[in-house]
Amino acid sequence: MNDSKEFKPYIPAEKVTPEFTITSIIMGILLAVIFGAANAYLGLRVGMTVSASIPAAVLSMGVIRVIMKKNSVLESNMVQTIGSAGESLAAGAIFTMPALFLWAEEGLCGMPSLIEITLIALCGGVLGVLFMVPLRNALIVKEHATLLYPEGTACAEVLLAGEEGGANASTVFAGMGFAAVFKFLVDGIKVIPADIAAAFRSFKGEIGMEVYPALLGVGYIVGPKISSYMFVGSLVGWMVIIPLICLFGPGISMYPAAEGVTVAELYAEGGAAAIWSSYVKYIGAGAIATGGIISLIKSLPLIITTFRDSMKSMKGGKHTSTARTEQDLPMGVILMGIIAMVFIIWIVPAIPVNLLGAAIIVVFGFFFATVSSRMVGLIGSSNNPVSGMAIATLLIATFAIKASGDTGIHGMTGAIAIGSVICIVAAIAGDTSQDLKTGYLLGATPKKQQIGELIGVVVSGLAIGGVLYLLNAAWGYGTAEVPAPQATLMKMIVEGIMGGKLPWTLVFIGVFLALALEILRVPVMPFAIGLYLPIYLNATIMIGGVVRLCMDARKKVDSKIKERQATDGTLYCAGMIAGEGLVGIALAILAVVGIDMGLTEHMNLGNIGGLLLMAVMILSLLKFSLWKKNKK
């Protein structure tokens, strides 16, 4: 394309500025660990993660430009390149790996070793970066005008608007500080309860919310549309399906409830939550799996053309230029890295594949990396069907392992491990391509960015195993604190294929509910996630979406002012998510070592206390977005 040849980056190729420095590497590593841990915690709680690229870029500008008095946009870009890798690797890992811990808790297998988890994460992460290197010229350079990479372009704009770096960084830090203090008061020293609940015993429905900054932040960031679909999913589950089950089947005793326990007895003992965990969750699982497969099927024409066009571009993309902005990692290094990953996958005990199987995993990985990269270029990371790819891989892997005769727990853990590698490959490939687009616009050196991505992946891979172990030791997966929705779903899929243990009636209710929604053109995935998660989480997410709706709906406000205020709100919310996640990790450490920080019993404020806390949270968000005074 002529557009790519005429394009001039912000920093010209002939100009050399600080980029891959000790400062950028250390800051990037810190942010990779921080955002990786915070996003792992968030994802295991609510089933979704948020992009770390822009918050990492803003924080790096705040330190490099304001504190260190350096004017280096490429250094700030390197920080966000390394830092954002932690969030993407965490997203891929938490979708699948907690299933291994759940099986260990059930006594079906031993606890996965820290080394195995780390190796699986590293294999997926390193392959995701390496696969993107030969695709960079094809997707980022040649198709500069057609593949916009929304998050990557937005991150470049934030970095170029670096004059406000200090003020914006202070917004992120304010959000982190507020959420950290809030989380410590509520869950640390346990001064105030953050739950609001209203149970309708005669009707058998229940509604309520958990008042936490991260949930409000997620709702604000995903916006009113997605958060409303999630809330409606919960509303259908808790105010429609649960009352129906209690109305029509009070005397029924069926799997997966405890043998001999009727629905009426289950409700009397545990309320609506007991019916939800025993019945509704399986309907939600069927809906999520169907939503993932639907998104994949709808994307198939795009996936096929994407892969074909990418391969064509690569064939004609031999580079002889030595310009700084066109230097990639050498192809020899890429091939050696891929071969090394094949051998590691082969020798890791948790992945029951031979050498040919390991090579097939890599081929699948390359296919999904290509698809992931191009799709985030077209429709953005938030619409990338990573969960659909993970489900498809898991189905193929489980059927293949079952066909080979390995139908026990060994085969099931192997299927999850294979799914983990592919899921992380797809997540990291999408993140790497967004970062390379940012670098292309700014005039970064691709080779240095690619090395930065590998550093971020390795550091995050080493950290994620510890985070997963810590959260499991503190609370256990599948509990109210860390429900691990996606991993529980993946576990159920593998068990259903291998041993037929699933309550298929409930699962198929979810399948056909999802198909009905698709026919009505209602987005299936957010609705299904809402059905699968407790209403307490989604109600707070909905409130965050409503705050965003009210801010965006104002008529007599200049569009640029509205956009700036929305960005400030997003940065504050990203800070809240990181702050709560970090304190959540700290509290997990205290729980593991047996330290109880609770100083008193909860103040007996009931629902009024929760509503007051919600009001404080919303006011703090408005303070740093709507009412923030921006210096010119």
Give the model's pLDDT for residue 513.
95
Q: No. of H helices and E strands in the chain?
A: 23, 2
Tens of pLDDT, residues 521-579? 988 888 988 888 888 888 998 999 999 999 988 888 888 888 888 888 888 988 888 88
Give the model's pLDDT for residue 42.
85
Query: Helices marked H in 22-97 — which ranges?
Result: 22-46, 53-61, 73-94
Within a domain: 326: no
Within a domain: 260: yes
Q: In the structure, what pLDDT confidence band is assigned to residue 632 with cuts at 50, 70 and 90? A: very low
Mean local confidence (pLDDT), 441-466: 93
| Cα–Cα distance list, 203 to 67, 246, 279, 290 (Å) | 59, 9, 18, 30
- What share of the chain in percent tops pLDDT 90? 22
- The yes-or-no verdict on residue 584 having pLDDT over 50 is yes
Give strand pairing partners of 206.
Answer: 199
Q: Which has the closest alpha carbon to 418: 364, 466, 498, 372?
A: 364
- The yes-or-no verdict on residue 192 having pLDDT over 80 is no
Within a domain: 289: yes
Give the model's pLDDT for residue 597.
62
Q: What is the CA radius of gyration of the chain?
A: 24
Give the model's pLDDT for residue 321.
59
Mean local confidence (pLDDT), 180-194: 81
Mean local confidence (pLDDT), 44-65: 79
Q: In the structure, what pLDDT confidence band is assigned to residue 5 with cuts at 50, 70 and 90? A: low
Q: In the structure, what pLDDT confidence band is assigned to residue 28 with cuts at 50, 70 and 90? A: very high
Task: Give yes or no for a contact between 477 and 111, defined as CB atoms under 8 angstroms apart.
Answer: no
Give the model's pLDDT for residue 306.
61
Give the model's pLDDT for residue 258.
56
Within a domain: 600: no
Give the model's pLDDT for residue 313.
57
Looking at per-residue pLDDT, the higher value among 407 and 242 belongs to: 242
Give the model's pLDDT for residue 380.
65
Within a domain: 342: yes
Q: Per DSSP, which regions of 201-303 are E strands? A: 205-210
| Cα–Cα distance list, 448 to 4, 324, 325, 436 (Å) | 21, 10, 10, 10
Q: Which domain holds residue 113?
A: 1-192+225-319+331-535+562-595
Tens of pLDDT, residues 57-101? 888 877 787 677 777 789 989 999 999 888 889 888 888 899 999
Task: Give yes or no for a contact between 110 and 409, defined as CB atoms under 8 angstroms apart.
Answer: no
Give the model's pLDDT for residue 82.
94
Task: Report how many domains make up the chain.
Answer: 1
Task: Give yes or no for a contact between 617 and 213, defined as CB atoms under 8 angstroms apart.
Answer: yes
Looking at per-residue pLDDT, the higher value among 317 and 132 belongs to: 132
Within a domain: 516: yes
Q: In the structure, what pLDDT confidence band is assigned to residue 606 with cuts at 50, 70 and 90? A: low
Q: Say how many C-beta atoms besides its own lie within 10 A of residue 94's C-beta.
A: 30
Give the model's pLDDT for residue 340.
92
Within a domain: 423: yes
Amino acid letter, 351 = I
Q: Tell me the average pLDDT of the chain.
A: 83
- The yes-or-no verdict on residue 2 having pLDDT over 50 is no
Task: Give yes or no for a contact between 484 and 478, defined as CB atoms under 8 angstroms apart.
Answer: yes
Give the model's pLDDT for residue 162.
66
Phi, psi of 95 (to 5 degrees): -70, -25
Give the model's pLDDT for residue 121.
92
Within a domain: 206: no
Q: Residue 202: which residues within 8 A CB-CB, separation 6 or more?
A: none
Q: In the structure, what pLDDT confidence band is assigned to residue 18 with cuts at 50, 70 and 90? A: confident
- What share of the chain in percent tops pLDDT 70? 89
Q: Residue 1: which residues within 8 A CB-CB, separation 6 or more?
A: 142, 143, 144, 145, 146
Give the model's pLDDT for residue 428.
93
